[in-house]
Structure 1
Amino acid sequence: MTTALIAEDEPVLAAALAQSLSRLWPGLALLPAAANGMAAVELALRDRPDVLFLDIKMPGKTGLEAAQELAEEWPDAPGSPPFPLLVFVTAYDDYALQAFDQAAVDYVLKPVNDARLQKTVERLQRRLGERSASESELERVLTQLRTLAAPAGDARAMPVPPLQVIRAAVGNQVRMIPVADVLYFEAGDKYVRVVSADGESLIRTPLRELLAQLDGQQFWQIHRGTVVNVAAIAAAQRDESGKLRVRLRGREEMLVVSRVFAHLFRQM
C-alpha cells in the first residue's frame, strides 16, 4: 500500500489536503500529519512514506530545509527504502514557481484545487510505477535540491555587488571583517558563526540571506548550515563512515559536506 505524509503547520489546510487526497486517491494511506518542518523530518525518517507533501513555509524549518535534511539523513545502504516522492505545497506566485519548474519538482498551490491535485496524483502514481533502477529517487532529489538551494535572485532587479565586509558586534564594539579573510560561516540556532584566522564572531543575518550576498565563485555552500571559502580548502576526503569532509589549510577542524553538495568535489 502506498503511504503519504503531509507536513503542514495549519491544521485546517492539512485536513483539507488530506480530504482531497482521500477522494482522488482512495488507495493512499495517509500517515498522521506533521505540524512543522522538524516533525516532518523526524516522522519521515521513522515511517518512511512513499510520498511526502511539504508546505514551503513552516515554523522552525521550511519545506525546502526539511527536504534537504531528509536527503542528507536518508539511508542509502542496499535494501534501504527508496526516498519519498516530494510534492511542495506553496502559495508562491508564478514568478517564484519558475524555480520549481526548472528543477522538475512537483508542487500544488494553496488553496489546493482538486483539478490541479488530480494531475499531481496521476504523476505520482506514474512515477511510483516506473521508478528507475539506474537512478534512485534520492539521486534525482539531490539534483533538484541543488537547483532549489541556490540563492534566489530576482532577474528583474539590478545586480548587487558581492559583500566585501562583515560587520559583527563583539562586546561594545563592531568588528569589521573583510569577507576575503573569512574561512567559513556556520549557522546556529539564532546566529551565524563567522570564522577567520583571527578568531570568531557572531552575526544575526540568516545564512541563506548571507549566501545571496557572497561571491559564488569564492564561497561554496557545502552543507545546509555551512558556507566555506574555497581558497581555505586544502582537501576533501571521506571518513570511516563514508561521509565526505573538507580539511582547511592550517586548521584542525574538518567540515562535513552533505550529499546535496558532494558533487562540488568530484574530480575534474
Structure 2
Amino acid sequence: MPAASDGAAHPGATRLRALIVDDEPLARRGLEIRLRDHPDVEIVGQYGDGAAAITGLRKHHPDLMFLDVQMPGIDGFETLRSIPAAELPLVVFVTAYDHYAIRAFEASATDYLLKPVDESRLSQALDRVRRSHVQREASGHCAHLLGLLGELSGRPPLDLDAALRPDAIEQLRREDKLAVRDGGHTVRVDLAAIRWIDAAGDYMCIHTDGDTPQGKTLILRATMGELEKQLDPQRFPRIHRSTIVNARRVVELRPHSNGESFLRLDCGQELKLSRSHRDKLALLL
C-alpha cells in the first residue's frame, strides 16, 4: 500500500493512521495524492466496499477513516453501524451529495468532504481531525486513570473534580475499606477487621477477623509499599520491615532489653516492633 507521505512529519506531530474506503478507484487515488501534502497522515489501507473496510479496520486499528457514503452492498452508514463504538476511529465522510452532510454528522462523523475533494477543504477537515484526535486521546487517558483510581479505592469511578482535590489521597485513606488488586480483580477488606499484615515473599498476608478465634487470612499478590500508600499511617503503622499493624487492635506493649518491643493484639497474637521502627511507639501506646 503506498504511503501518504513524501517527507517527514512536523516535529512533535502525532501521526494519523488512515483508511480510505471508496468503491471508485479514481476517487481513492485522488484522495491519496492530496494527502501527500499532509505528512502526518499515513494511509495504512484502501478498500472498495464496507465489508472489506470492517475487516481492514480490525487489522490496522486506524485513527482515521475516509468513508464514502454511497457504496454498493454495505454503504457508509451501515458500515459505521457494524463497528463497535470502542473500535470506531475518527470518520470523515466523502460524498458527491451535500444533503448527506446532515446524516454524516448525525452518525458522529468528524467532518465530511464533497467530491471532487478540494485541497483547502481537505486541509480544514484534517485540522478538525487533529484537534479531535488530541481530545480523544486526552479524554481516553483521563477516563482510564479515573476508572483505575476508583477501582483501587473500592468506589465507583471518580470524576475529575474529585480526583484533583488536594486531599483526594487522604480521603481514600479515610475510607472504611482497603481495596487491593489481586490479579485481574479487586478485593475489598473492612479496615476495622484487619488485625495485622505481613509479607511472605511476593505475597501479602492480611490477617482479619473471622468465624473462628484464629480469624482468616487473605493471601494476595501485592507489595508492602502498595498497601502502605492506601493505609493511614497513623492508624496502620509499619512496625517491622515486613509487618503493618492495626494500632487499634494493640492491647499490650512489652519492651525487650535489646531495644525491640513485643505487641500483643486483642486476638492474642504477638508481633515484634523492631528498633528501626521505635518512632511508632507513640501511635501504639
Normalising TM by the smaller chain, what interval?
0.3 to 0.5
TM-score of the aligned structures, taking structure 1 as reference length: 0.43
Larger-Rg structure: 2
Q: Give me the TM-score of the superposition, normalised by structure 2.
A: 0.41
Q: Which has the higher contact order (CA 8 A, sep 6+)?
A: 1
